[in-house]
């Protein structure tokens, strides 16, 4: 259960990070800062991919052990 709780909170934090970095990407791209736009875009993609990978592998692990799917509440 501790793994499910850790993954749920980490997934929420990574989703929040991806939203903030997407906003930073759009602002940097709109203002002409290509370098910062690239950095923010990479951070956004890595955060989304990490969240999907963590939650997906935890769900797969729980189903393999015949446990309930992870949920926060």
Per-residue pLDDT 10s for the chain (73 aa) are 688 888 889 999 999 999 999 999 999 999 999 999 999 999 999 999 999 999 999 888 888 888 776 666 5
User: From the CA atom positions of the chain, what is the Rg in Å?
Assistant: 16
Q: Is the distance from CB of 61 to CB of 7 less than 8 angstroms?
A: no
The distance from CA 12 to its chain's CA centroid, rounded to whole angstroms, is 7
Query: How do the domains of the chain map onto residue ranges?
Result: 2-63
pLDDT of residue 50: 97
Task: Tell me how far apart the terminal alpha carbons of the chain are, to the nearest angstrom.
Answer: 12
pTM: 0.84
pLDDT of residue 46: 98
């Amino acid at each position: 259960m501790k793994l499910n709780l850790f993954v749920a909170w980490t997934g929420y934090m990574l989703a929040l990070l991806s939203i903030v970095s997407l906003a930073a990407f759009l602002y940097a791209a709109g203002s002409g800062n290509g370098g910062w736009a690239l950095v923010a875009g990479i951070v956004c993609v890595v955060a989304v991919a990490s969240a999907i990978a963590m939650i997906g592998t935890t769900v797969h692990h729980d189903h393999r052990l015949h446990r309930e799917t992870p949920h926060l509440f």
